[in-house]
Amino acid sequence: MTYHNAIKYVMTAPTDLSEDSVGANLKRLWNELGNPQKGLTYFRLAGNNGKSVCAELLMSAFRDSSHQVGCFTTPIQEDIRNNIRINGGGLPFEEFCGYVDRIYRIQARINKTYAKEAAASDPQENNAEATPSAFVLTQHEIMLSAALLAFHANNCTLCMMESDHTQADPSRFLPAPFAAAICGTIPSTDRKAVQRIRSYICHGIQEVISAPQDQDAYRVISDTCAAINCRLTLTSKSEIQIHRIALNGSEFSYRDKPYRLGLCGKFQISNATVALEILEVLARRGFPLTEQQIQEGFRKTKIPAKFEFLSIAPTIIVDSTHSDIAIETVCDSMAEFRELLGNKVRLCLPSGSIVERYRTVLQQKGYEITEYLTFPAELLVEPSLSPYSPKQKTIVEVAKKALTTLKDNEILLISGPYCFTSAIRAALVKALSF
């Protein structure tokens, strides 16, 4: 299987299945693959905001260590191989294609058997190709299964997994992790999110790390942990000392130890403290790092499209987010530099509820929105096989227009799901390089 065909296979798979079919095909696939999920030692990154940042910080810290560490992240990235990483690096082309090909062949073989059985049961149905597939895998089921194969083949002694707890999340069928972090804050008004976290903790986790929650959400998490004798660790705001917040990073101390981040914004410091508490848990579990490895890893961490200043003159900020809490965080972080950047914002967003949410939050914070550049939902693109597809071309054209009409006293804020921001970001990086 070529890399082109591997991407095509993954990206043409459904993103979700009906509830009555979720998990059954995945478990059969794992059985056909030799059950690579068994014996997996892994840590779960959960919650509604900050998972990918914590994953990047942890992978960067472990990059130069003696530990063999695997990491599986969502959503699907521009280079799909980077969703599955070993010691910080994406899978080689040949290795990635090999895992995906194994999954494809198993799916094709099972569906061929189903088709023969269907044709045999109905003499009038002699066209096997017309028989609907009975064995369907989602994008994330394919990718998670490929990750499990990669972790097994590379002898990973520690793995990290992102999870969103939705019905489409296949990682919920894995054995329970030894520990999990609840990244971001979960508003107690979001009953479904709180219930998902409660159900997840009860799945057999031995230790939970979290940032401070609001009173009601904290009560649910702490009571759930206490009921099953699960250890709960919260980061301590009182032990954070912020020394410097700049456009190119930040400096802070936590528990009297100094750190420098290659990430911008106070909220990234909060994510970093969660990562530091995770590292304490991992050290107790037999995966220690030196203080120098942690400090160097944090300093070198760079994450495209995570409150990223793509350019200062003109000012362009890119952030991959769409949840209400994350939007509030982005606007708060931007306000930290109001005296330097000014008060006028040009928004580049996908159409939908995100537009009204940004309008409300920015106006509450005293910003003037000079223009809305919105894209219809059908132009939201997943990683494309070709940068010259019609959807990509339309996004590139609008991105260039946004750049050429941007005034010196304006901030261009690009936000939305990763598939949207990554396409805009790529177009602007190319335009800015000329």
Average pLDDT, the chain: 87
Which residues in 236-314 belong to E strands, given as ranges? 240-246, 249-254, 257-261, 308-311
Peptide bond connecting 75 to the previous residue in cis, omega within 30 degrees of 0: yes
Average the pLDDT over each of 41-55, 196-210, 226-240, 406-420 and give the range with the smallest value.
196-210
Same domain, 33 and 8: yes
Asked which of 300, 318, 338 is the last residue of a domain, the reply is 300
Same domain, 249 and 374: no
Same domain, 40 and 146: yes
What pLDDT score does 94 carry?
96
What pLDDT score does 125 carry?
53
Q: Of 348, 347, 358, 371, which Cα lies nearest the Cα of 323?
A: 358
Residue at 149 is within a domain = yes
What pLDDT score does 386 carry?
46
What pLDDT score does 388 carry?
47
Same domain, 360 and 282: no
What pLDDT score does 21 carry?
59
The mean per-residue pLDDT over the stretch 232-238 comes to 93
Residue at 116 is within a domain = no
Asked which of 235, 269, 300 is the last residue of a domain, the reply is 300
Chain centre distance of CA 410: 29
Tokens 């597809």 — which residue?
389
What pLDDT score does 378 carry?
62
What pLDDT score does 293 carry?
97
Number of H helices, E strands in the chain: 14, 16
How many separate domains does the chain show? 2
**CATH number where 196 lies:** 3.40.1190.10
- Residue 276, pLDDT above cutoff 60: yes
Gap between the Cα atoms of 72 and 70, Å rounded:
7
Same domain, 333 and 294: no
At 385, give phi and psi (nearest 5°): -70, -25
At 234, give phi and psi (nearest 5°): -110, 145
Give the list of residues 6+ apart from residue 155 with CB closer than 8 angstroms, or none.
68
Asked which of 244, 271, 300 is the last residue of a domain, the reply is 300
Instruction: Assign 143 a pLDDT band (cuts: 50, 70, 90).
Output: very high
- Tokens, residue 72: 């599986």
Residue at 178 is within a domain = yes
**What residue numbers bound the domain in which 212 lies?**
3-99+137-300
- Tokens, residue 253: 């101390």
- Residue 122, pLDDT above cutoff 70: no
**CATH number where 347 lies:** 3.40.50.2300
